[in-house]
Structure 1
């Protein structure tokens, strides 16, 4: 039984596409089909049922996937145990949203560089929606964003949570006034892009008081939102920890509100596929790094839920 055939089946089960699997493994679609056929002959069962261009795993395929993933995971652990960390020459592809990039991701990057100096590290900053798409298409090894991947084989956990504040220019926000939801709703609002997790929290926040924002601007960039708020174009609900400098200098003012905006939970997601030797270890290192970062911040700004993994 060839190792390449086992790895091919696991990647195919994850990506659910022969072309993407071939691209990911740097081979051809006929080679993927040939490896799958060889594995099915060896096991004596059909692993995949095709329906036109689509396919799904058979019951035998699901059982085989469970066993093969464990076999390959154990083999990866064995290889790592015999390998000097300095000689691990792999590519780590990390996806993260702005709020993570601007807080503890540099710490994680530094630790990865120190622990695995031979690894190549790629960091992609994008929206949650795009990061999850890249993850499912096999272009990323781990993501830190605002939604989990709930599909079979993926692992997700809440890595940390950040408190949120309504902030705006001192020309627009009176720091001594306590704003009602209705008063906020009457102001120009700057929010994250439509469909994003923070955007989905906006409507319920105002609908509880039967209030809708009169002016709404959207952006998929947290720095852009903060810049627009500083320039007086509206108020924005952003992670408080991100704007500590602007609040200290007076470029932004935190609006006191009688209804706090819910905190944001940030979620790590990954798929422990063969060949991604360090993904499990990166996830654990990220969990520890985020916890240490939260412990170093002022109380109430960032935290890790006990037993969140």
Structure 2
């Protein structure tokens, strides 16, 4: 019985399938199947009930799972307390919303690379809803999203919020939202839903809302005079500095965007936990430097 067999067993049990475990471990599916088969032969037990759906642990499989989790916890303790972080290897899968990507994400990646120079990073930029799904499906290790994620399996580290300010084109003075469309975040986000609710109350049926998952495209549309919209001031700085857009007060202010660094609590990974704290430190430093 080898440690790699135990690790493979744990991921098959966690993810409920050989293919998913193979993707997570960067192995072929036959390699995963062989490891589990060899482990079962050595222990002389059946670990999984194999049917048409997800794999189900047997009684012996449940017992082994508890030991496997303890073994991986000890491994992580050793990595944290004994091993040199600079020697850590592997693939780290990070997801970030575009707000974070255009704010402090580059500084985080610099700090992460300095701490873990031998770890490869797979970066995904997407809307928070998709990032949440990818995290729960274990396709991402750490996500920076509009949170928190209200699942008992998820740890959420609070990050600085972003105030929203209203912008219009410098060449288009119209701010009456009954006359000019409002552009906002993706229709699958909380800011969009809150904006729709507020516009329905204050403007009524004449309000038109454009939804976009791309912040840069949205700000360009505002600069072109196509729409007005609320966005973080720090992300609008270049457009403000070039005098393409100006800030205005429509009489109501959207709620700030609340973000978290979120990750699955089990199986424990000090690489992920440390990275979340690095992100928090970088975000706090960035927040103290850039205007809100």
TM-score by length of 1: 0.78
**What SS class does the counterpart of residue 161 from structure 2 fall into?**
strand
Q: Distance in 2 between matches of 1:217 and 1:294?
A: 28
For the 8 Å contact 1:163–1:241, the answer to whether it is kept is no
For the 8 Å contact 1:187–1:213, the answer to whether it is kept is no
Q: Distance in 2 between matches of 1:209 and 1:85?
A: 54
Q: Distance in 2 between matches of 1:205 and 1:236?
A: 13
For the 8 Å contact 1:108–1:286, the answer to whether it is kept is yes
Matched, 1:73 2:73: yes
For the 8 Å contact 1:6–1:39, the answer to whether it is kept is no
Which stretch shows the higher mean deviation, 256-265 or 117-126?
117-126
**What SS class does the counterpart of residue 202 from structure 2 fall into?**
coil
Q: Aligned pair in 2 of structure 1 residues 91, 230: CA closer, same or farther (>3 Å)? A: same
Matched, 1:251 2:231: no
**What SS class does the counterpart of residue 177 from structure 2 fall into?**
helix
Matched, 1:118 2:106: no
Q: Distance in 1 between matches of 2:68 and 2:26?
A: 21
Q: Aligned pair in 2 of structure 1 residues 119, 28: CA closer, same or farther (>3 Å)? A: closer
Q: Distance in 1 between matches of 2:44 and 2:266?
A: 21
Deviations 1:275-297 (A, max 9, x none): 95511110111111111221223
Measured after TM superposition, the shift of residue 30 of structure 1 is: 5.7
Unaligned runs of 5+ in 1: 302-309
Measured after TM superposition, the shift of residue 187 of structure 1 is: 2.3
Would you say how many aligned residue pairs link Structure 1 and Structure 2?
Answer: 291
Measured after TM superposition, the shift of residue 169 of structure 1 is: 0.3
Q: Aligned pair in 2 of structure 1 residues 81, 207: CA closer, same or farther (>3 Å)? A: same
Measured after TM superposition, the shift of residue 87 of structure 1 is: 2.0
Deviations 1:132-181 (A, max 9, x none): 3433444322111224444453322332210001212023346xxxx7xx
Q: Distance in 1 between matches of 2:252 and 2:64?
A: 51
For the 8 Å contact 1:172–1:234, the answer to whether it is kept is no
Unaligned runs of 5+ in 2: none
**What SS class does the counterpart of residue 167 from structure 2 fall into?**
strand
Measured after TM superposition, the shift of residue 266 of structure 1 is: 1.4
> Which of 185, 208, 220 is 2:213 aligned to?
220
Measured after TM superposition, the shift of residue 107 of structure 1 is: 1.4
Q: Which residue of 2 aligns with 1:27?
A: 27
For the 8 Å contact 2:136–2:264, the answer to whether it is kept is no
Q: CA RMSD in A?
A: 3.4
Q: Distance in 2 between matches of 1:65 and 1:165?
A: 50
Which stretch shows the higher mean deviation, 134-143 or 163-172?
134-143
Q: Distance in 1 between matches of 2:230 and 2:67?
A: 46
Which stretch shows the higher mean deviation, 258-267 or 77-86?
77-86
Q: Distance in 2 between matches of 1:31 and 1:130?
A: 30
TM-score by length of 2: 0.82
Q: Which residue of 1 aligns with 2:85?
A: 85
Q: Which residue of 1 aligns with 2:225?
A: 232
Deviations 1:73-130 (A, max 9, x none): 3322203433223322222222112211111112111111222222223322222233
For the 8 Å contact 2:45–2:60, the answer to whether it is kept is no
Q: Which residue of 1 aligns with 2:100?
A: 100
Q: Which residue of 2 aligns with 1:170?
A: 170
Measured after TM superposition, the shift of residue 233 of structure 1 is: 0.7
Q: Which residue of 1 aligns with 2:54?
A: 54
